[in-house]
Amino acid sequence: MGEERPSGRRGRTLRDPVPRAARADDQVDIDSVLRAHRAGYPKPKMGPVRRAYDAAELAHRGQVRKSGEPYIIHPLAVTLILAELGMDTATLQAALLHDTVEDTSYTLPELRADFGDEIAVLVDGVTKLDGSKWGERAEAETFRKMVLAAAADLRVLLIKLADRLHNLRTLGFQPPHKQQRIARQSQELLIPFAERLGMYELKREMDDLCFSVLQPDAHDAIKSALDAREAGGRALLQPAVRRLRDALKDQRVAGEVMLYRRHLWAVHLDVGDRLDTLQPADLFRLLVLVDGEDRDCYIALGAVHACMNPVPGRLKDFISLPRFNLYRALHTRVIADGRKVMDVIIRTRRMHRTAERGLAAHIHEMARGPGADVAGRIDLEWLRRLLAWQNDATSADFLESLRGDLRPDGIAAFTTEGEVIPLPPGATSIDFAYALGPEIGDHAIGALINGRLVPLHARVDDGAVVHILTAETASPSADGLVAATTPTARLLIRRHLAAQRADDAADKGRRLVAEAVAAEGLELLDLECQGVSGSVAERLGHRELDDLYAAVAAGVVDLDTLVKSLVTENSRSSGSEEDT
């Protein structure tokens, strides 16, 4: 699903007979993909990956990127990103083939026949819809299609993220307006997806690449400032590193203590243009990687607090209560030498792999396991809820809600069963209710937050435990629309209120029609049962009687004219029955 469309002819199909020896560029860069794949698996399947490369190279033959390189370089680069993340053979095959259906004459049925259903589903999931057919709706409907495909197989999202990462890396070859559009779309939708999947390794690079396009001056300024301060900052923080290493040794905790530099966008969000205030602790986090189990992280935490003064209220335990994106770690803030405030993160090495690569790390473990079903769904609750109601949302509504649901600056609230519900800051009880699903939100009447009874407009704080109270007879109201802050909740309430208004209008219109036909000596119910009303409604362009009655209430359909039509149609129908 590359943003850059290849130039040149649309390539050959797999069925064109091209001798292997005639392919001068065959296997030039596929070896790096195979090496990366071999590094992640004890017995990797090289043959299927090479066969997918051969197919992709043949299909894209003659196409070039704006850089002038052969187009096959793009799917190879995307596949290398995924191979280095430890993705399985099927994902690498699909990544190599991911643009063939969209940009060449190779069709999805042909691909399915050559590579099977699993690969075809992955490729189809990231294939963009035809803009000439979908028009302005193409972007939203493409994302809807991708999200629906991800419901069956989350690897679709991983391929899309790798695809976008490579496009961002090569964005300099695009015209400025397209650079801006792609970078902005990435910030709004793709980067939040990366965070939701726990793939911080990709997220950080994508953050900085978008930053360089959307705010080039700020990007260059902060990069220069960080580069200039890095060596001095490391030197100033080394005493704290040594002290913590000694503290861990005293507690007999095996592990590694290191400084890692924060990425540019994260520092920019913290300090903005106040570069003169940059401190070493703004540049670095202190990372403790424990060689052990979960309990050893808590021992390490004790060692940290024993040798450095903890800042009250700044401890976050994502081990006992993991984040919704699979992330697990202990976070604490301490005051070290010279009153330097530092953030410390404590993880096991396994937690660290997941923290960096998220879903990809889990899929890698599944693929290495005996008899594992890699395509098996890892149930991410936020994605399930995203899909629960949005199938019938309009394109504009879908994108608005998707952006809202994926906002990165969120909080985490909990159900009474301990399930994590991600919400934006400032969210209310009604937002929480609709995050659980329309069937809860539509019937919500109140909430218990941390055991205290509150109204639906009450704010939900980070870490709160929320229980929604419902009643079968309750329904959304205009007050609920005022209380709601999330796009999803507001959209569903507006939809319900609009339907209610339509029902009210239909009832009003039906009463008007019933009174008018009664004056003509007729019963509206009889006309409806005999099909008279339905025939007239269809002739007037209304599929449903309720639509016709609502049009009468709105004055769109003239009541007197409609009654004459009903009387005439009834007479015609009665005459036909008598003839019979």
The CATH number for 348's domain is: 3.30.460.10
Confirm if 301 and 346 have CB atoms less than 8 A apart: yes
The residues, ordered by sequence, that sit 6+ positions from 320 with a Cβ below 8 Å of its Cβ are none
Confirm if 63 and 11 have CB atoms less than 8 A apart: yes
Confirm if 52 and 33 have CB atoms less than 8 A apart: no
Give the residue from 144, 170, 199 where a domain finishes. 199
Q: Please tell me the predicted confidence (pLDDT) of residue 375.
A: 45
Q: Tell me what percent of the residues of the chain surpass a pLDDT of 90.
A: 40
Beta bridge partners of 346: 288, 330
Q: Exactly one of 3, 102, 296, 397 is catalytic; which is it?
A: 102
| Average pLDDT over every residue of 258-268 | 92
Q: Please tell me the predicted confidence (pLDDT) of residue 274.
A: 85
Beta carbons within 10 angstroms of residue 167's beta carbon = 23
Q: How many domains are contained in the chain?
A: 4
Q: Exactly one of 54, 88, 103, 201 is catalytic; which is it?
A: 103
Structure tokens at 287: 């990372």
Whether pLDDT at 372 is above 60: no
Q: How far apart are CA 29 and CA 77, in angstroms?
A: 9
Confirm if 382 and 111 have CB atoms less than 8 A apart: no
Say yes or no: 167 and 41 in one domain: yes
Say yes or no: 317 and 398 in one domain: no
Q: Please tell me the predicted confidence (pLDDT) of residue 53.
A: 95
Confirm if 542 and 505 have CB atoms less than 8 A apart: no
Q: Please tell me the predicted confidence (pLDDT) of residue 192.
A: 86
Q: Please tell me the predicted confidence (pLDDT) of residue 291.
A: 93
Q: Which helix (H) or strand (E) holds 580?
A: none
Say yes or no: 335 and 240 in one domain: yes
Q: How far apart are CA 538 and CA 59, in angstroms?
A: 50
Q: Please tell me the predicted confidence (pLDDT) of residue 398.
A: 66
The CATH number for 98's domain is: 1.10.3210.10
| Average pLDDT over every residue of 329-346 | 86
Residue 331 DSSP SS3: strand
Q: Decide if 245 is inside a domain.
A: yes
Say yes or no: 251 and 297 in one domain: yes
Whether pLDDT at 542 is above 70: yes
Structure tokens at 562: 């409609």
Range of the domain at 467: 381-494
Structure tokens at 219: 């990007």
Q: Please tell me the predicted confidence (pLDDT) of residue 264.
A: 94
> Greater confidence, 130 or 158?
158
Confirm if 468 and 487 have CB atoms less than 8 A apart: no
Q: Decide if 530 is inside a domain.
A: yes
Say yes or no: 471 and 509 in one domain: no
Give the residue from 325, 357, 389 where a domain finishes. 357
Say yes or no: 451 and 389 in one domain: yes
Q: Please tell me the predicted confidence (pLDDT) of residue 15.
A: 38
Give the residue from 357, 389, 423 where a domain finishes. 357
Does 103 participate in catalysis according to the annotation? Answer: yes
Measured on CA atoms in the order 174, 180, 182, 183, is the torsion positive or negative?
Answer: positive
Beta bridge partners of 288: 257, 346
Q: Decide if 3 is inside a domain.
A: no
Instruction: Give residue for tokens 């081990």.
Output: 319
Q: How far apart are CA 74 and CA 64, in angstroms?
A: 10
Q: Decide if 532 is inside a domain.
A: yes
Residue 9 DSSP SS3: coil
Whether pLDDT at 166 is above 80: yes
Residue 265 DSSP SS3: helix
Say yes or no: 490 and 509 in one domain: no
Q: Decide if 117 is inside a domain.
A: yes
The residues, ordered by sequence, that sit 6+ positions from 408 with a Cβ below 8 Å of its Cβ are 191, 192, 195
Q: How confident is the model at residue 6 (pLDDT cuts 50, 70, 90)?
A: low
Q: Provide the residue type at 76 as one letter.
A: L
Say yes or no: 296 and 325 in one domain: yes
Structure tokens at 69: 């390189």
Q: Decide if 40 is inside a domain.
A: yes
| Average pLDDT over every residue of 174-188 | 91
Beta bridge partners of 86: none
Confirm if 465 and 432 have CB atoms less than 8 A apart: no
- Whole-number mean pLDDT of the chain? 83
Confirm if 126 and 193 have CB atoms less than 8 A apart: no
| Average pLDDT over every residue of 524-542 | 86
> Greater confidence, 232 or 18?
232
Say yes or no: 426 and 532 in one domain: no
Q: Decide if 12 is inside a domain.
A: no
Q: Please tell me the predicted confidence (pLDDT) of residue 68.
A: 85
Q: How confident is the model over 190-219, as pLDDT tens digits?
A: 898 888 888 899 999 999 999 999 999 999
Q: Please tell me the predicted confidence (pLDDT) of residue 409.
A: 60
SS3 sequence of 346-378 = EEEHHHHHHHHHCHHHHHHHHHHCCCCCCCCCC
Say what the alpha-carbon torsion angle 419, 369, 127, 67 is, to the nearest 10 degrees. Answer: 110
Q: Please tell me the predicted confidence (pLDDT) of residue 384.
A: 62
Beta carbons within 10 angstroms of residue 246's beta carbon = 13
> Greater confidence, 376 or 537?
537
Structure tokens at 15: 């069925």
Whether pLDDT at 429 is above 90: yes
Say yes or no: 481 and 512 in one domain: no
Q: How far apart are CA 406 and CA 400, in angstroms?
A: 10
List the end-to-end C-alpha distance of the chain, in Å, as a whole number.
64
Q: Decide if 173 is inside a domain.
A: yes
Say yes or no: 190 and 222 in one domain: no
Say yes or no: 394 and 260 in one domain: no
Q: How far apart are CA 425 and CA 28, in angstroms?
A: 50
